[in-house]
Every structure is written in C-alpha cells, then in structure tokens.
Amino acid sequence: MKYLSYFKNNMTNYIFHIVFGIFFVIAMYISSFKYLMFHTIIELLIIVISFSIMIMTLNMHKNSKNDYFIFLGITYGFVACIELLHTLSYRGMNIIDIGNTSNIPTQLRIVVRYLESISILMSFKYIKKKINVSKVFISYAVITALCILSIFKFRIFPNCFIEGYGLTPFKIISEYIIIVILAVCLFISYDEYNINFLSNKYYSYFIIFSIGSELAFTIYRDVYGVINGTGHVLKFISFYILYSILLKDVMSGHVYRITDN
C-alpha cells in the first residue's frame, strides 16, 4: 500500500517521463527517414517555447520581486530569432540562399548556444537586482544583429562545419566551453543561492538536458544523422522543462519568491 500511495502522489511525474520517452522514440524514428521534417518540427517547437517564455515573463515584470526570469525571458526571445534563422537556413530547406553548405546553420547554432549559456550564467545577478528592461533588450538586439551580420554579411565568424571534413576545432572547443558554462550554472544553483525555484529538481534537469544536448553536438559527423537528431531532442526537452517550471510557478504565484538566508 505504501508503494501504491507513493505512485499516486507522483503520478504526474511518471506521466511526464513516459510522455517524453514516447516522444523521444517517435522523434528518433521520424529522423531516421525524414530528417529535414523532424528538424523543422523540433526547431519550430523550440522557437514557440522560447517566444512563450519571453511573452510570459515580460507580461509579469511589473509585479516581480526579482528579475531572474525577466532577464531569461528577454534572452530566449532573441534565442528564438536566431533559432528561426538556423531553421530556415538548414541545408535542404532552400528558403535562405546559402548554397549547399551546413556551415552557416552550424555557426548560427553555436551563436545561439553561446548566447543562451552565457545569459543563464549572467541571470543569477538579477535574483536580487532590478533589471532595466529597455537597456537589456537593446543590448541583446545589438549583440544579436552583430552576430548575424558577422555570419551573413561580413563572413568573419569562424567556420564550424566543413563539407567532407566535419566539425571544425572551433566548433568542438566551443561546445565544451558551453558545457563548462552550463556546469557552472548548475553548481551555482545548488551552492550559492537558497532560492525556491532554483532548488526545484526540474531546474537541474533543465541544465542537465542542455548539457546532454551539447555533448551530442560535439561528436556528430552528419548533419542529418541520429546523433545530431538526439542533440535536438535533448535541446527541446531542456527548453520545455524551463517553460514548465516558469508556467507552474507563475500559476502558483511562487516564481518570484526568494527564501532569505
């Protein structure tokens, strides 16, 4: 009876894991014969989630007691913009004319992951500090524009993928740097702050799945391959977990509560 009671009390968690398990299997199956369709669907879901995070947090910013999620919300709005460019420029989409190369979408992917991981690290300072929304928004708009111009216009961003060779050393090293940044974020969330939403185990899952995604992106050789597909699925799961944390805590009124030391 004790185990039955435990199962009932944690049924939501079990359903959550089962649904994502089924989703993962289906997504991997589709990617094996319709990779471009799989990639487009995954990326569009990530873009929708990212914009939803931005809209949700910006609508709540006037009533916030700390601006951690406000900062992340702005970040994920610009993440969505770059993700959209990455999706439209993916080899085979034939929407943005980049030629028969996977370098540009791979460059965009590195830009967006640097932007996301560094922003997560920077966001901790806004737990107990007010944010200037306009200043942060303009700063991210300028940074995003410069990164895009460095890839499409000036062509000065380092190569990330060379046809017939695979991932460049810059791309691989960048992935490991991003993993280290995310690991530091995970450590900070446990060690430095005694804050309700950061102590939530699902916040840890958000970073852990993000790290898993980066690991997959360090070893793939084929942009249409299973390992690359696995990285995209793990990335989607990490985004969805962050969205779920935010939505759940906003609905319960706890998203901005700080536990004093």
Q: Per residue in 195-232, pLDDT tens?
A: 555 556 778 889 999 999 999 998 887 888 888 888 99
Which pLDDT score, from 0 to 100, does residue 260 have?
A: 43
C-alpha separations of 111 from 27, 127, 143 in Å = 25, 25, 10
Counting DSSP H helices and E strands in the chain, the numbers are 10, 2
Closest CA to 38 of 50, 26, 21, 53: 26
The torsion angles phi and psi of 161, rounded to 5 degrees, stand at: -145, 130
* Concatenated DSSP letters of 206-236: HHHHHHHHHHHHHH---TTSHHHHHHHHHHH
Angle at 194 between CA 175 and CA 254, to 5 degrees: 95
Convert the pLDDT of each residue in 89-139 to its tens digit.
998 888 888 877 889 999 999 999 999 999 999 998 888 788 999 999 999
Those residues with Cβ within 8 angstroms of residue 70's Cβ, 6 or more apart along the chain or in another chain = 57, 58, 60, 61, 64, 126, 131, 133
* Concatenated DSSP letters of 121-179: HHHGGGSSS---HHHHHHHHHHHHHHHHHHHHTS--SPP-EETTTEE-HHHHHHHHHHH
Convert the pLDDT of each residue in 27-37 to its tens digit.
778 888 899 98
